[in-house]
Structure 1
Amino acid sequence: MTSLCIGLAGVVWASLPLQEVTLAWQHSVEKVRWEEDYQVTPAGLVLQEARVRGSGAGMEIPDDARLRDGAWHYHRHLPPLQPLHAGRTPEAGDYQLCVKGGCQPLSHWLGPPTHTIAAVDFWACEPGDAADQRKALP
């Protein structure tokens, strides 16, 4: 069974036994929520759908997006991401991982964002591989 690994440069900080996850965050300037739904597969994270609750600087709504329940829903056709690399700083706020409607900030597993480690990776991994590679949290 594939898990979601969270870390940086191949070093696992946390491993979660998930097959589906939503990555959510608030745009640091526009203060608008973004959400991306991923399926965790052996090939990597496959983006299923994305949603944004508004537009603004650097937040263009795709032409094929549809407004539903107060958010613009759209699909991007990307190859599996292995890893998905994301910036993570105190100024930008933290990401949330959402599963079945419940969300937790990434700091729940990793501690708060810091300037010394300003990024995080998400990738699909096998649970045994993650246990062998796990290091102390930064």
Structure 2
Amino acid sequence: MSACVLAGALVLGLAAGDRFTLEWTHSVEREAWRETWEVADHHLHLVEAAVKGSGAGMEPGPGGHFQDGWWVWVPDLAPVAELNLAASGMTPSAWRFCGAECTDLGAAPGEALRLAPCAAS
């Protein structure tokens, strides 16, 4: 079985290479933000981040370069056991999760959404 991520009660399949992307619109700057994550050793590892613009909290990280309309960089962060995604309903977009398929998460107000590797991942 391929790797998966739990998002609340949902089981989300991952694309080849055990990777997925999260994309959303920044709540203040109204610019797109995208992160590519990989599931490895029962943890989530951020392998790339990209922003469409810059501004309040949206500066590209060290080594950032402009590619196809995005500022792209490789963050130097330790793997995490889970991600908690806010679901205020007040942001301009949902969290767009793309693994084996794409789905929107947290568009309506509610509890934070916990993303974590499946037990078998």
What TM-score do the two structures reach when normalised by structure 2? 0.83
Identical aligned residues as a percent: 32
Is contact 1:5-1:15 (8 Å) kept?
A: yes
Q: Counterparts of 1:35 and 1:59 in 2: how far apart (Å)?
A: 11
Opposite residue 71 of structure 1, the aligned amino acid is W
Partner of 2:11: 15
Q: Counterparts of 1:17 and 1:58 in 2: how far apart (Å)?
A: 30
Aligned residues: 115
Q: Counterparts of 1:82 and 1:105 in 2: how far apart (Å)?
A: 22
Q: Whose helix fraction is larger, Structure 1's or Structure 2's?
A: 1
2:116 aligns with one of 113, 117, 123: 123
Q: Counterparts of 2:99 and 2:82 in 1: how far apart (Å)?
A: 19
Structure 1 gaps of 5+ residues are: 8-12, 128-138
How much does 1:55 deviate?
Answer: 0.5
Deviations 1:88-114 (A, max 9, x none): 2111131001237x643126xxxx421
Q: Give the aligned CA root-mean-square deviation in angstroms.
A: 1.9
Question: Which of structures 1 and 2 has the bigger CA Rg?
Answer: 1
Is contact 1:96-1:104 (8 Å) kept?
A: yes
Q: Counterparts of 1:61 and 1:17 in 2: how far apart (Å)?
A: 29
Q: Counterparts of 1:15 and 1:46 in 2: how far apart (Å)?
A: 18
Residues 1-138 of structure 1 mapped to structure 2, 5 A cutoff: 1=1, 2-7=3-8, 13-18=9-14, 19-92=18-91, 93-99=93-99, 103-106=102-105, 112-114=107-109, 116-117=110-111, 119-126=112-119
